[in-house]
Amino acid sequence: MAAVIPSRLAALNRLRCEIFQTSYNPTSVRTGAKYLRARLRGPSMVQYYPEELTVAKFNRMPGSFKIQDWAEYQRLADVEEKKRRGKGAPKKAKTQGPNFWPMMHIWRAIL
């Protein structure tokens, strides 16, 4: 049996790709098609792990039973301590401060 010419094999491969609607890749460059074709893993992982139940979510649930969130209690105590020492967040302004935007074109001209 005679050997087949490589150009004929390449033409056959190209024709096969057109017929079966696959990508023609004569140089065998890695395309990542295997990973793009695979199903997504995210939805399965989300369903695998149960929803995290925090103290705040538990306390918002209907019912009269509430539990103490010690981390939140400690955080509030720390904030109160910082306020007492003068290290807390500044108070919100009751009135809007001066509007400097009309003056911006003057400042830009100076700078």
Task: Give the start-to-end residue ranges of the domains of the chain.
Answer: 55-85
Distance separating alpha carbons of residues 92 and 66, to the nearest angstrom: 32
The better pLDDT of the pair 92, 60 is held by 60
Residues 35-64, mean pLDDT to the nearest whole number: 90
Q: What does the DSSP assignment read for 47-63?
A: HHSPPP--HHHHHHSSS
Token readout for 46 is 């989300």
For 15, 35, 56, 68, 85, the CA distances from 77, given in Å and listed in that order, are 75, 51, 17, 14, 13
Residues 53-73, mean pLDDT to the nearest whole number: 89
Mean pLDDT is lowest, of 23-32, 56-65, 77-86, 94-103, for 94-103
Asked whether the beta carbons of 16 and 5 are under 8 A apart, the reply is no
